[in-house]
Structure 1
């Protein structure tokens, strides 16, 4: 009796092991088929789905550009046409876009679904002052707050600030220098109540500033300039009554403020010029 029970128990155990083995085999077959299906679908998607951009007008969206034109931006993105979006490097495209003088930062995002496209957002430079190499010439560029020079010939839509910086054609400015000159210009305007018209940097050690009907000779723009500018408010009552006779106010010295007086008042000179011009006509 015990021997027959033992044989039955062994048979049942053998059947259970076979059933478990068949179940594992079925699961493995299902996993293998599922994996093959995924590989097939992935390969088919890469070969049949439209991953590449083929129309820059409809598949490239540009936001935030007011100065840089769409054509200028698309010209830099021409290498993205007929290239799968997963092979595009957004960082490299952003560096290409910031090569435009008017673009400070650029952000590129790639989308594959529902259709391949690029979304480009640009942050443009903020104008600080206009730039010209000569007072007789109109501004050729605009200086941004970052110190970049934005040529008007390439970006005619850029805002041209009222204040003009005169300098040599190879003048370079950093963001720190722009901030410093902006603070000095604001300091002058706060004391006189007039906006600064131009800053002449053609002579680096003999800077001149036109502030309404007042002309200041600042001399060297060193660490003492802020203190020297602080003396403007003390001489305003003196110069207000004789502005027509003053050529410039010299703030280049530490201990005194010389005034260069004209032999002929400015009004008389202007009237003479107008009369001569009318006679020539």
Structure 2
């Protein structure tokens, strides 16, 4: 079948026209997409630059949770430079390190919030007090030893609990978690055998460590790997020292072969004098 030339030309012309219309429609759609994208970018940039990203009320917008020993002011003071910094530029990990620098804080978690208002929320986990530290029996307690071995100054954190167990040591004494764990086992071992709590541990002389356990004074010598074995012999002498307990000055557990006991001479002499005085009075005034 032969198509007339005029009809074919008309068909070609209409086809070109449809392609042109489709091309224009596609161009308009692309332009609309680009305009919407540009508008979103402008709105996003405006919101990013115009919103109040800094803390409006300064340190009052720093909220602290979980603190009992460390005051809110101390935590806010540790991150005081964050007040004028935009939240998107604040590094939470850096703030956590600054807060953990406070000796009573074990862990810290910092969160940033932009809505409904800019604020910083700090969650803290404090150190757990294990023992008190002093330089000697005549000196006041200076620090609290945490379970991690960290020394927490009482002057900086006056509300911290001061445990009854006291460690006497030289100025600048340091402990770590392993030291605390080991001494906790030894102290518990002694208390388990005697049924009395340990009052203090004297570490001022590392070659002559001493412990006061109720009415018993123990000399441990060097606190080395053999101390657990030497402490295990304490049970064997408890029954033997009962008659002389009032005159017992100390129990020496520093030796491996035997357990020396020292009896106080002053109390013995006083007892002898009292007995002689009673005998003389009975002779002078017979019944």
TM-score (normalizing by structure 1): 0.91
Deviation at 1:5, TM superposition (A): 4.1
Moved more, 101-110 or 3-12: 3-12
1:252 to 228, 251, 254: 254
What does residue range 97-136 of structure 1 map to in structure 2 within 5 Å? Answer: 97-136=99-138
Distance 2:222 2:68 in 1: 38
Q: Confirm whether residue 189 of structure 1 aligns to residue 191 of structure 2.
A: yes
**Which residue is 2:157 aligned to?**
155
1:79 to 81, 97, 102: 81
**SS across alignment from 1:118:** strand
What does residue range 14-93 of structure 1 map to in structure 2 within 5 Å? Answer: 14-93=16-95
Is the CA contact (8 Å cut-off) linking 1:56 and 1:74 kept in structure 2?
Answer: no
Distance 1:3 1:209 in 2: 121
**SS across alignment from 1:14:** helix
Q: Deviations over 1:86-105 (max 9, x none)?
A: 00000000000011000011
1:207 to 198, 206, 209: 209
**Which residue is 2:139 aligned to?**
137
Which ranges of 4 or more aligned residues in structure 1 deviate by more than 4 Å?
A: none
Is the CA contact (8 Å cut-off) linking 1:52 and 1:84 kept in structure 2?
Answer: yes
Distance 1:137 1:36 in 2: 73
Q: Deviations over 1:141-166 (max 9, x none)?
A: 00001111000000001110000000
Distance 2:88 2:199 in 1: 52
Distance 1:139 1:56 in 2: 37
Deviation at 1:82, TM superposition (A): 1.7
Deviation at 1:2, TM superposition (A): 4.5
| Matched residues, number | 268
Q: Deviations over 1:79-135 (max 9, x none)?
A: 011211000000000000011000011100001111110000011000110000011
Distance 1:113 1:73 in 2: 23
**Which residue is 1:12 aligned to?**
14
**Which residue is 1:276 aligned to?**
none
In the alignment, structure 2 segments of 5+ residues that lack a partner are 272-287
Distance 1:236 1:19, change over 3 A: same
Distance 2:57 2:267 in 1: 67
Is the CA contact (8 Å cut-off) linking 2:58 and 2:84 kept in structure 1?
Answer: no
2:221 to 219, 244, 261: 219
Distance 1:13 1:195 in 2: 103
**Which residue is 2:243 aligned to?**
241
